[in-house]
Amino acid sequence: MTSAVDAEPGFLLEREQLVRRELPELFEFFSDPKNLEELTPPWLNFRVLESSTPVIGQGTTIDYSLRIHGIPMKWRSLISTWNPPYEFVDEQVRGPYRSWIHHHSFEEAAEGVLVRDRVRYRVLGGALVNSLFIRRDLDKIFSYRQESLARVLPGTR
C-alpha cells in the first residue's frame, strides 16, 4: 500500500526503534502532543501552543512554536491519518518546510513495539540546502528523540 509519505516528492528520513511497551500504551504516549515537547531537543525551544480538539484524532490541527538556529517560528500540523493503535500521519500546514509529511507507525514485535518514523520533506534550496543544513539538523533531532524515548520509557533500544 502506498502512503502519503511515499507519494510526496522530496527527501526521506527513516528511523525505527524497539520499545518494550504494550502497543496501546505506546500509541497513547505518542498521540499526546505534550509528550512531543519531552522528546524534542531543548535547543529548539519547542512548545505546544494549542490543539483544535481536546483529544487528538483525524482532522486535528496542532500549533507549535520553536526556534531553528535561534529564529522563532510557528508550525501548524494537521493529523491527516488516524488509525489507532497502529499509525498516524501529521502534515505541516504552516511551518519552515516547503512540505513535511510524518508517518508514525507502531508494529507489535516479539520483545515490544517497533516504532517507525518516515518523514518525506521538501526544503527551499533543494538538495544543496538539505545536505548542508537540514539533514544534519534532522538527524540530530531524531537521534535526540530516540535517546529521550529510551530515557522516558526504560527498556527501549
Report how far residue 38's alpha carbon sits from residue 40's, in angstroms, rounded to the nearest whole number: 6
Tell me whether residue 30 is in a domain.
yes
Domain count, the chain: 1
Cell 488516524 belongs to 82
Tell me whether residue 130 is in a domain.
yes
pLDDT tens digits along 9-67: 799 999 999 999 999 999 999 988 888 899 999 999 999 999 999 889 999 999 999 99
Report how far residue 123's alpha carbon sits from residue 23's, in angstroms, rounded to the nearest whole number: 33
Percent of the chain with pLDDT over 90: 79
Tell me whether residue 157 is in a domain.
no
Q: What is the mean pLDDT of the chain?
A: 91
Domain span at 33? 4-152
DSSP designation for 96: S
pLDDT for 4? 53
Name the grid cell of 87. Answer: 499509525
Task: Enumerate the β-bridge partners of residue 71.
Answer: 68
Please determine, for residue 5, whether its predicted confidence score (pLDDT) is greater than 60.
no
Identify the weakest region by mean pLDDT among 83-92, 137-146, 148-157. Answer: 148-157
**Is the Cβ–Cβ distance between 118 and 5 less than 8 Å?**
yes
pTM comes to 0.90
Report how far residue 10's alpha carbon sits from residue 92's, in angstroms, rounded to the nearest whole number: 14
Tell me whether residue 133 is in a domain.
yes
Question: Residue 156: which residues within 8 A CB-CB, separation 6 or more?
Answer: 17, 18, 19, 20, 112, 149, 150
Higher-pLDDT residue of 9 and 101 is: 101
- In which element (H, E) is residue 135 found? helix 135-152
Name the grid cell of 15. Answer: 528511523
Tell me whether residue 120 is in a domain.
yes
Please determine, for residue 3, whether its predicted confidence score (pLDDT) is greater than 70.
no
pLDDT tens digits along 81-97: 999 999 999 999 999 99
